[in-house]
Amino acid sequence: MAIVELLVVATKLAGVLASLTLAANAFSFSRYRKKNLRPFDSPIDDSADTLASFNLDPSEGETEFFFGLATAPAHVEDRLNDAWLQFAEEKPCNTSESSQQLQPADALLASAAGDGGSQQGPSAEPKIVLKRKKSRKIAMEALIRGFGNYIEEREEKAEEVPDTDHSHNVAAWHNVPHPEERLRFWSDPDTELKLAKDTGVTVFRMGVDWTRIMPKEPTGELKDSVNFAALERYKWIVNRVRSYGMKVMLTLFHHSLPPWAGEYGGWKLEKTVDYFMEFTKLVVDAVSDVVNYWVTFNEPHVFCLLTYCAGAWPGGNPDMLEVATSALPTGVFNQAMHWMAIAHSKAYDYIHEHRVSL
């Protein structure tokens, strides 16, 4: 009986600690949001006949508004052994239910990394309308998911049960015969480029995969860690985009953390900034004369949230302490965001120093 009472007390204490941790994280994120995130007035009015009006001001150098298409290496490139491919292979999902349904945090943010944004749904099922949630609620959901993910992993290790059903996975991995081939944009970019051109796209946004350029950590001579043939291939693809009459917008980091960086902690450590700058310099020096627009980081806050706080994306693997303190001022979220901001600032300066006006 004493053991049962002790377990009850321990459970209550754990519940209180979890509640206090969640409250502290919510309060911390609320203060951070008010201090650092400026209010954004949406230009879209759902009740109006004209949904949005983007008026150009020539006096401010605004001369055009373009219709673009964005793709990421993880979405489209074949022959790419990146972190997403390894993540999907290492954590299989055998049930059709888990491959077709996304939990709230994943469903709202899936389009950012290709872990469900293109999956085919069953036509017989009724449409499910997801209510828009505030970013604070999404953050708390991710935190709770991180706790759940950590507890599940501990239980599986204790029971030595293989992971046959994992809720965090690349959903599109399960609904096509050869998912590792993606859209074959690496080997045959013309198929997608022709479709984009025929759609009326004027700016084609594509990414450069960090892993493909640097397949191993550049701890020694840089040239020993660089795939220069891949760099030349990217330049050829960029020129193919231009041959279709489309401008090029190039993304340097579209959630493409190399597996070797994930092993030591990735954006939690300062040395990743130096590695990213080596990668950035290689890309800018190779294609700056044929790229019209640059994107340094695609939604870094989403990457940090789902990678380092929730452990739902590859490269994070947060422990219990990181999950519990993730949104605190000194937590892993602000830590990773800090180093990504430093990397963005350095990349921005380098791009502007070396870019060619087109």
* Pick from 127-131, 216-220, 277-281: least confident: 127-131
pLDDT digits (tens, 9 = 90+) for 134-144: 555 555 555 55
Closest alpha carbon to 145 in 167, 125, 161 = 167
Residue ranges of the domains in the chain?
65-118+133-354
- Is it the case that residue 352 has pLDDT exceeding 50? yes
Output the DSSP codes for 288-342: TTT-SEEEEES-HHHHHIIIIIS--STT----HHHHHTTTSTTSHHHHHHHHHHH
- Is it the case that residue 116 has pLDDT exceeding 60? no
The model's pTM: 0.70
**What band does 11 get if pLDDT is binned at 50, 70 and 90?**
confident
- Fold observed for domain 65-118+133-354: TIM Barrel (3.20.20)
If DSSP codes are grouped into helix, strand and coil, which group holds residue 38? coil
pLDDT digits (tens, 9 = 90+) for 178-233: 888 888 999 999 999 999 999 888 999 999 999 999 999 999 999 999 999 999 99
| pLDDT score, position 71 | 85
- Return left, alpha or beta for 81; rule: phi > 0 is left, psi -120 to 50 is alpha, else beta: beta
Rounded (5°) CA angle 103-105-108: 100
| pLDDT score, position 107 | 43
Beta bridge partners of 251: 207, 295
Report the pLDDT averaged over residues 28-46: 72
What is the rounded distance in angstroms from the CA atom of residue 81 to the CA atom of residue 185? 14
Among 35-44, 198-207, 232-241, the range with the most confident prediction by mean pLDDT is 232-241
Distance of CA 192 to the CA centre of its chain: 22
Are the C-beta atoms of residues 324 and 21 closer than 8 Å to each other? Answer: yes
State how far the alpha carbon of 236 is from the alpha carbons of 82, 209, 243, 256, in Å.
21, 15, 10, 21
Are the C-beta atoms of residues 70 and 118 closer than 8 Å to each other? Answer: no
| pLDDT score, position 301 | 93
What amino acid occupies position 153?
E
pLDDT digits (tens, 9 = 90+) for 246-275: 999 999 999 999 999 999 999 999 999 999
| pLDDT score, position 97 | 44
| pLDDT score, position 139 | 56
Work out the number of other CB atoms within 10 angstroms of the CB of residue 9.
10
Distance of CA 178 to the CA centre of its chain: 22
State how far the alpha carbon of 72 is from the alpha carbons of 116, 186, 250, 282, 313, in Å.
13, 11, 10, 19, 15
| pLDDT score, position 12 | 78
Distance of CA 19 to the CA centre of its chain: 29
| pLDDT score, position 141 | 58
Are the C-beta atoms of residues 258 and 83 closer than 8 Å to each other? Answer: yes
pLDDT digits (tens, 9 = 90+) for 282-334: 999 999 999 999 999 999 999 999 999 988 899 988 888 888 888 788 899 99
Work out the number of other CB atoms within 10 angstroms of the CB of residue 37.
10
| pLDDT score, position 89 | 80
**What band does 280 get if pLDDT is binned at 50, 70 and 90?**
very high
